[in-house]
Amino acid sequence: MIIIKLKIEKAVVTMAKRIDRNMTVKEVLEQYPETAKVFQKYNLLIVGKSCGPHEPMAFFTKAHGVDYEQFAQELETAISEKPEKPEVFEIDPSLIGDTIYQKFIKTAIIVSVTTGCLYGAVKLFQVGLAGSFDVLLKRAIQMHGASQLVGWVGLYIMGFFYFILPRLKGTVLAGRRWANLSFYLILAGLVIRALFYTLETSDAPLYPFVAGLLDTGAAAIFLGVCLKTLMSSKEPKGIQDNFLLAGIVWFLVSGIIYSILNLQLFLGLFKTGDPLLVGSVPPYLFSAWVHLFLMGFVFNFIFGISSKTISSFLDTPPVREGVIRKFFWIYNLSLIGYVISALTRIQQIYFITLLLIAHFTWIFIFSLRVFERKVGDLDDVRMDRSHERFIRVGYVWLAISSGIALFQLMTKDPYILHMLRGAANHGYTVGFVSMLMIGFSMKMIPVFTGNQIWSGTLTKWTFWLLNIGNASRIGFEILCATKNPIFHQIVGFTGFLEVLALFLFGINIWVTMTREEAYEVKPIEAFTGNETVFALTEQFPQTIPVLKEAGFEKITNPLLRKTLGRAITVKKACQEQKVDFSTLKQKIIASVPTLRG
């Protein structure tokens, strides 16, 4: 393993207080690089990009479960001390400039506005034109459903988790090449679904089975990489760990079940005379897979991250850990019964498990304390809080959708059941899952990138369009149980509101991820040698060849300039490399005519 060693030169002792609650982590590390050892002590040195996140210190410490006063005091001490010789500490280079999540998230965004949400909106528009849901081919619905769940939700979660897991557990990601392979397996499955759906005309298609095998392979790799990473960690087990592991296992199980169902389809075991069902898995079996993927993989992941972060993200009281730990076991055991009943169509088990899941989900929301009054720890902190509305409203939609699902127990009419299930599923996927994904992204992507969210305006439009579209879809889909064509026509337009919302979100996050990492560097007007190597080369790139000629061979490496270069002055670097500073200073000033000596 390659190790980068940072030598930190201590600041001169002064008694003035230097750290305050509203200073960002980025500001602290740039102004006082000697504090890096304190961040390293708490495994917080590389939580995002190399220069640290745009997060106020008060929020940063609360989010990571560290006492602010103690942490700030240690930072002050690190600034004030003057050791006889500089300290050396180690950083694994895989944690610096890590962008493994970007290809997952960017691809997920592309899928959501093509074969995922956009394709679904087009099909919904066809429903509006026909005045009935009974015009859609089930194979089209299933292609859209698999693309939306695996391509949009699955890829997004995988990318997030590959990035945050090693930072959450104070270790490095095990099997990075395998993690990248899991991305390409999912991508291949998505391409096969989209391409062969338009080309395959057989009643027993092969492509869904092949795509399912690729998904299953990716899920197995995901599980293996995450388990190996967790095993390498010395951090204590957190409240979120059981949820996250269970979610990954359910991901693998759902992939296996999807593959088995589509193998049966290929073998001709689902033959039917209904033209709407030709070339598709029976709807009740596909619905079982959808719920297994959603409630098993996705919900567990969101529940785990929520349990860890909600109290700091929303500044609410601590979650009720005891209740949440019990909920984990009841929820996942009930989910086993729910899936078995959905696959076997044993109604008694289905009713019992649906009741358990709905009621204990409400208890879980209560235990998170999402809607309780803020405790006020962060009232004085200046930061973007746009994520809060997404998270709170997302949990409102989860509560509502669980209630809609229970109404299935009150009717046997097939069309009414279809409308209720469709409304509940949409509330789960768009109202809860997509809303939480966006909410967490608005808070965490800036940490990953070292930037701030690109556009607050796009964030607001995303929130309102997504909620208006979701509320209209759910409300009017339930009214469609009356078989009134007008309600179907209104539903037909709602999908485009959601597509627009996700499109705006995609632009916002894409730009945030791809912008160059933001650094706060004061303009250099007169060169003294006390400037950091990074500050000099960032503002005056023409000095890079001058430094290389002087003996700094690795100065052309941008990663080292942004890490080691930010922690050492030019004068100190000359002392370390035995370079004559006076001569170098003349050459640097000569290369930059506007720079004073």
Say what the pTM is.
0.83
SS3 of 8, please? strand
Give the model's pLDDT for residue 170.
Answer: 77
Residue type, 149: L
> For residue 317, what is the enclosing H or E element?
none
Give the model's pLDDT for residue 333.
Answer: 94
Give the model's pLDDT for residue 521.
Answer: 54
HSE toward the beta carbon, residue 370, CA cutoff 13 A: 24
Rounded distance, CA 550 to CA 547, Å? 5
Contacts of 588 (CB under 8 A, 6+ apart): 527, 536, 540, 543, 546, 547, 570, 595
DSSP characters for 59-114?
Answer: HHHHHTT--HHHHHHHHHHHHH---SS-EEEEE-GGGSS--HHHHHHHHHHHHIII
Give the model's pLDDT for residue 341.
Answer: 87
SS3 of 16, please? coil
User: Token pair of 531, please?
Assistant: 């400037």
First to last CA, the chain: 41
Q: How would CATH label the architecture of 100-514?
A: Up-down Bundle (1.20)
Radius of gyration of the chain measured on its C-alpha atoms: 27
Q: Where are the domains of the chain?
A: 1-97, 100-514, 521-597
Q: 521-597, what's its fold?
A: SP0561-like (1.10.3910)
Q: Collect contacts of 94-97 with beta carbons under 8 A, ≥24 apart.
A: 94/172, 94/173, 94/176, 95/46, 95/166, 95/167, 95/172, 96/4, 96/46, 96/50, 96/559, 96/562, 96/563, 97/49, 97/50, 97/559, 97/562
pLDDT digits (tens, 9 = 90+) for 108-164: 999 999 988 889 899 989 988 988 888 888 988 998 899 999 999 999 999 999 988
Q: What is the DSSP letter of 566?
A: G
Residue 120 in contact with residue 36, Cβ under 8 Å?
no
Give the model's pLDDT for residue 558.
Answer: 72
Q: What is the DSSP letter of 30?
A: H
User: Token pair of 277, please?
Assistant: 């069902």
Residues (pLDDT < 70) of the chain are 1-17, 45-53, 82-97, 516-522, 559-560, 562-564, 566-567, 597
Same fold, 1-97 and 521-597: yes
Q: 1-97, what's its fold?
A: SP0561-like (1.10.3910)
Give the model's pLDDT for residue 419.
Answer: 92
Give the model's pLDDT for residue 14.
Answer: 40
10 Å CB burial of residue 149 (0-12, 13-18, 19+) is buried
